[in-house]
Structure 1
Amino acid sequence: MVRLIFIVLFSFFTMTANSQNSAAATVNSRATIIDPIKITKSVDLDFGNVISAFNPGKVVLSPNGNRIAQGVQISSTFPGNVAPAEAIVNHGNNKYSISLPNSFTLYSQEDPSQILIIDEFKVDPTIGETLDVLKIGATLNLEANQPSGFYTNSSGFNVTVSYN
């Protein structure tokens, strides 16, 4: 009887040693191709006419086109061309991020050593179905007694959009 129990136990251990040692599954694959994101400038950023002062000051141009002067004056009689920048983003309903510079320098056409700094960029996206109209405002910083003249920078600043 002891032999019979020994044979049964031995058989049990040898049968479990022959268990399954591999398995397989079928995996499908797919890809979706989306259109590349595009941005097109439609309007340049323009602060209009600003009157210099004895003290430093700034002009804040909001994305909706409102100007607020701090320490300088702006003329309602001769405002000049005032416009927030505008760009059209084609993104096909995909989420994206917007990158702007920390600051940007404008140079006097009469005396390139005279500069104005633009900073504190603000963006107001108008959400559309596949196109967004981005409006961009910023702050124009003036030194005390800023020399008069036309200030610009032909290289422009970059507005970068990237899919998230």
Structure 2
Amino acid sequence: MTLFDHQPRIDRSRYNRTAPAVTAALHALGKAVDDSGLDRSLTELIELRASQINGCAFCVQYHLNLARQLGGIPAKLDLVAVWRDAGVFSARERAALAWTEALTLMAGNGVSDAVYAELQGQFSESEISFLTAAVGAINVWNRIAGALRFALPTIAEPAVPGASH
């Protein structure tokens, strides 16, 4: 069986209707991150990377769609899975991606002081707080959409500004 062979357990719109308070809370968190001043292209990169790590096909496609609509650079979108070796990411993007991986994988590895120090060199304390919230939120969405096997969005699915998932 491949990633695309299984049937959705629940459709996204049905989940939104059956758990509206959860959806509203996660949308509010996403809006707070969007309103923080962090660059949306950066947050889409970290949401894409966390979704890749977590194996959430819905979220990978969803965040690729959003990043493309925001004018994301195709080379970065294509290479985010191998960002350390790609040579196309800025120091700020690399710090955010390292932070995303550390938080997403923290159960097995913890979060190193070196990764945090690198992050502090690129982001303010406020930005770190919102970046951390963004990583936390996408990890929640990955578990919801991945476990319930949300049907993949189409490549052309329109994005709603300020609302993740």
Asked which structure has the greater RCO (Cα within 8 Å, sep 6+), the reply is: 2
**Superposition TM-score tier, normalisation by shorter sequence:** under 0.3
Per residue, is there more helix in 1 or in 2? Answer: 2
Higher strand share: 1
TM-score calculated relative to the size of structure 2: 0.21
Radius of gyration: which is bigger? 1
